[in-house]
Amino acid sequence: MGNKILEIQFTDAGLQVINIGVLCSQEEFVRAAVESRAHAIIVSSLNGHGELACMGLREKCVEYGVSNILLYVGGNLVVGHQEWTYIRDKFTEMGFDRVYPPGTSAQVAIEHLKEDLQHFAEASVS
């Protein structure tokens, strides 16, 4: 799903969104997250190169001191046909907290994000 559409839907759901644009480097994502004190980085892939773009993102977060940030990814994540369970497992192994197949409603990710942020807040208080 296009990042502008996601921005509108997430904002309408009451979430603060920092949209850094398209074709951004991992460093740009992580720096923006650090500067804005974000609780999550959400990557949407339209071109099928999500695997390439996301490889090492969790490590980059650790490098920048935000190892506990939520990482979500969704969309057209790989080139060619691969079984969804294989794709999901691959991104989970790369450190992503949530992985969504093509066609997933933004509302699903919004609900998951709100749940995960609530759990994060509860864990911070404990």
Domain ranges of the chain: 3-125
Over its C-alpha atoms, the chain yields an Rg (Å, rounded) of 14
User: What pTM value is reported for the model?
Assistant: 0.92
Gap between the Cα atoms of 23 and 95, Å rounded: 20
CATH number of 3-125: 3.40.50.280
Gap between the Cα atoms of 49 and 47, Å rounded: 6
Q: Quick one: pLDDT at residue 48? A: 82
Q: Quick one: pLDDT at residue 1? A: 54
pLDDT along the chain (126 residues), means of 10: 87 94 88 96 89 94 96 93 95 98 95 94 73
Q: Quick one: pLDDT at residue 77? A: 93
Residue type at 15 in one-letter notation: L
